[in-house]
């Protein structure tokens, strides 16, 4: 095999709780992650060790101009690049690899966009070089790259514990309401993940609204659509109040999503992306149109022709992960 193409799906957090801080500074978490249908495309091409291409470097990474390229490095600062290096070093791969990523998942969005690209490289190189590495071993290998990588290697819907590496499969909203769809809204403003966790650490415990993860998993395991009304109020993210202070437009986005018909609106990960869950794709598309019109008015573009005071929101519509697999 000389080339392989993988889909690298993004994720949202249905609930996120912090249960403590380890001696090494990592936060212990309990959270539910579910893959969504929005994905990057990761193309891997084998470069024979003796080829001129491989001689310039064992890993080559480029971003497809058809996707997002701004702010995405193509060297060892990119986790997908480091994933290829890790596979070569761990499994003594002599040949090089060329990686081309068509990025659709927003960058620095709380959707594991980098981690899922890295996971696609791990899985793709496993097949490209016919290594036969079991998925569980790939997940352990990926943990060296980041806490979200093991989840992204496996995919689906998982209860994640520890620093995110202890994974238990659970049913997702796609099983409860397969026709449901999401509107993803990413503000242009960002916030440092480190600053967000430090802000959380400074919150008094009585001010933290912890989700009941046992209750969330119990409701998900019913697989019953009528339980969604019980599930949605239990879906909480303890980092959201901190990120709201740093990215003040988040509450307004949630209000607009709910006004446009979302059954639930909340932030994913450390943010700043907010997602709204809608009954079906048509309802989500209508809501996205409403959000775009509101955003134009918000930044002073509607009918004025003046320069915007802010950058537009990224507004995307998607479903849950395609269960047909991650090969293109």
**CB contact at 8 A, 126 and 141:** no
Question: Please, what is the Cα angle at 149 between 318 and 12, to 5 degrees?
Answer: 30
Residue of 11, 186, 236, 264 marked active site: 11
Contacts with 229 (C-beta within 8 Å, 6 or more apart), sequence order: none
Active-site residue, 148 included: yes
Note the CATH number of domain 173-318: 3.30.70.890
Active-site residue, 227 included: no
Distance in angstroms (rounded) separating the CA atoms of residues 10 and 314: 15
What are the domain boundaries of the chain?
3-169, 173-318
- In terms of Cβ atoms closer than 10 Å to its own Cβ (0-12, 13-18, 19+), residue 80 is buried
pLDDT for 309 equals: 47
pLDDT for 301 equals: 62
Residue of 17, 40, 148, 295 marked active site: 148
**CB contact at 8 A, 199 and 245:** yes
pLDDT for 96 equals: 96
3-class secondary-structure state, position 81: helix
pLDDT for 305 equals: 53
- In terms of Cβ atoms closer than 10 Å to its own Cβ (0-12, 13-18, 19+), residue 305 is exposed
Note the CATH number of domain 3-169: 3.30.230.10
DSSP-H helix ranges across the chain: 52-55, 79-90, 113-128, 135-143, 149-154, 173-176, 193-201, 213-222, 228-231, 240-246, 250-259, 281-298
3-class secondary-structure state, position 286: helix
**Of 73, 41, 47, which Cα lies nearest the Cα of 59?**
47
**Of 188, 195, 173, 194, which Cα lies nearest the Cα of 106?**
188
Dmax of the chain from CA atoms?
A: 62
**CB contact at 8 A, 185 and 275:** yes
pLDDT tens sequence for the chain (328 residues): 799 999 999 999 999 999 999 988 889 999 999 999 999 999 999 999 888 887 778 999 999 999 988 889 999 999 999 999 999 999 999 999 999 999 999 999 999 999 999 999 999 999 999 999 999 999 999 999 999 999 999 999 999 999 999 999 999 999 999 999 999 999 998 889 999 999 999 999 999 999 999 999 999 999 999 999 999 999 999 999 999 999 999 999 999 999 999 999 999 999 999 999 999 999 999 999 999 999 998 887 655 555 444 689 999 999 998 755 566 5
Distance in angstroms (rounded) separating the CA atoms of residues 148 and 158: 11
Distance in angstroms (rounded) separating the CA atoms of residues 151 and 136: 11
Q: For helices 135-143 and 79-90, what crossing angle results, to 10°?
A: 120
């Amino acid at each position: 095999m000389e080339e392989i193409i993988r889909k690298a799906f993004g994720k949202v957090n249905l609930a996120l709780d912090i249960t403590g801080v380890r001696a090494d500074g990592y936060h212990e978490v309990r959270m539910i992650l579910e893959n969504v249908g929005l994905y990057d495309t990761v193309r891997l091409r084998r470069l024979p060790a003796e080829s001129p291409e491989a001689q310039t470097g064992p890993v080559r990474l480029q971003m497809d101009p058809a996707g997002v390229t701004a702010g995405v490095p193509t060297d060892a600062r990119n986790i997908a690049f480091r994933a290829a290096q890790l596979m070569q070093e761990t499994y003594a791969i002599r040949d090089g690899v060329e990686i081309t990523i068509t990025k659709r998942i927003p960058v620095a969005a709380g959707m594991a966009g980098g981690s899922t690209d890295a996971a696609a490289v791990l899985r793709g190189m496993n097949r490209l070089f016919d290594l036969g590495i079991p998925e569980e071993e790939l997940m352990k290998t990926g943990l060296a790259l980041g806490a979200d990588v093991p989840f992204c290697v496996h995919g689906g819907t998982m209860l994640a514990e520890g620093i995110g590496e202890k994974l238990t499969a659970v049913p997702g909203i796609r099983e409860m309401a397969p026709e449901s769809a999401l509107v993803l809204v990413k503000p242009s403003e960002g916030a440092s993940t480190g600053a967000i966790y430090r802000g959380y650490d400074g919150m008094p415990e009585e001010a933290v609204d912890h989700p009941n993860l046992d209750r969330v998993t119990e409701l998900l395991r019913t697989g019953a659509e009528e339980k969604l009304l019980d599930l949605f109020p239990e879906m909480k993210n303890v980092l959201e109040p901190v990120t709201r202070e740093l990215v003040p437009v988040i509450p307004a986005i949630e209000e607009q999503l709910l006004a446009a018909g979302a059954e639930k609106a909340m932030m994913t990960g450390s943010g700043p992306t907010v997602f709204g869950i809608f009954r079906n794709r048509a309802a989500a598309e209508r809501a996205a149109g409403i959000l775009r019109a509101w955003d134009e008015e918000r930044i002073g573009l509607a009918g004025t022709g003046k320069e915007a005071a802010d950058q537009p929101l990224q507004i995307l519509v998607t479903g849950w992960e395609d269960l047909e697999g991650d090969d293109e």
